[in-house]
């Protein structure tokens, strides 16, 4: 009988449903228009799912399961299916009503409850969401759990014994490599990997994978917002530049502007 590997890791990948990156954002009545606008998984979250799947492909004996989790309206089930199609094994959907404001602090608290309930060892999530650019959930979650964290990861190396992880972080001026003992929180940066495309056959297979539905009350969650958005306005429209004919004209215009 072969001795079983005791260090089996459970990976949690929190993801977020945001407005698709290619959509032209329209602002009306001091709010971003979200009705009938295409939504998809946050690009950084896709990188996180891909990283979890790649780690499992590299360390098959270490990682037992990859769970994707999201806090969102019923439609957020679509991005859970995409994560399952990319390679996650199961998903958790904490369902809130359409239009509820969910702040990063509430998300981090929900994730903390889920981590403590199910006992995950490795949480990998996107560094920021493209809609609010808060970049808070990773750090707040690590603080609530008391776990080490490595943000803006551009390379993640799991030790062969499943006890340590080495992460290269992107900082101003280069790369910082940190080594941490599991359990850890890692947030992904753009250059970490190239997320695979969730093809149609994989999406079909993903419909059979289990999705657990939870309500905020199941996690004793308080979703009241701590921040009040006073106004949202679109940036000022770009003003066209003028074409000049020769170098002398450029110099003349610069002198006019007071730059030369």
Nearer to other proteins, 234 or 244 (CB): 234
Smallest separation (angstroms) from other proteins to the CB of 45: 12
**CA 111 vs CA 14, 33, 68, 104, 257: distances in Å:** 8, 28, 11, 10, 54
Bridge partners of residue 9, in order along the sequence: 63
Smallest separation (angstroms) from other proteins to the CB of 176: 16
Nearer to other proteins, 43 or 216 (CB): 43
Smallest separation (angstroms) from other proteins to the CB of 174: 12
Where do contacts with other proteins occur on this chain (CB under 8 A)? Answer: 21-24, 43, 128, 130, 190, 194-195, 197, 199-201, 203
Bridge partners of residue 123, in order along the sequence: 12, 185
Nearer to other proteins, 133 or 228 (CB): 133
Contacts of 126 (CB under 8 A, 6+ apart): 15, 16, 42, 43, 44, 45, 46, 47, 48, 187, 188
Smallest separation (angstroms) from other proteins to the CB of 191: 9
Nearer to other proteins, 126 or 183 (CB): 126
């Amino acid at each position: 009988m072969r001795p079983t590997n005791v260090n089996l890791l459970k990976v949690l990948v929190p993801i977020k449903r945001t407005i698709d990156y290619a959509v032209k954002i329209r602002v009306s009545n001091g709010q971003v228009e979200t009705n009938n606008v295409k939504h998809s998984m946050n690009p950084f979250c896709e990188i996180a799912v891909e990283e979890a799947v790649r780690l499992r492909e590299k360390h098959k004996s270490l990682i037992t399961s990859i769970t994707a989790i999201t806090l969102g309206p019923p439609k957020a089930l679509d991005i859970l299916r995409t994560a399952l199609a990319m390679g996650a094994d199961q998903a958790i959907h904490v369902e809130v009503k359409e239009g509820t404001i969910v702040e990063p602090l509430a998300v981090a608290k929900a994730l903390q409850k889920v981590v403590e309930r199910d006992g995950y060892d490795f949480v990998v999530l996107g560094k920021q969401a493209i809609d609010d650019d808060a970049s808070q959930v990773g750090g707040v979650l690590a603080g609530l759990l008391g776990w080490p964290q490595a943000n803006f990861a551009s390379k993640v190396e799991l030790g062969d014994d499943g006890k340590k992880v080495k992460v290269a972080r992107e900082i101003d001026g280069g790369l910082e490599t940190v080594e941490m003992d599991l359990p850890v929180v890692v947030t992904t940066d753009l250059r970490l990997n190239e997320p695979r495309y969730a093809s149609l056959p994989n999406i079909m297979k993903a419909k059979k994978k289990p999705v657990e539905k939870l309500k905020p009350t199941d996690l004793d969650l308080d979703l009241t917002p701590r921040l009040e958005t006073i106004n949202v306005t679109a940036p000022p429209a770009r003003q066209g530049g003028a074409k000049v004919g020769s170098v002398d004209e450029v110099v003349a215009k610069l002198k006019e502007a007071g730059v030369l």
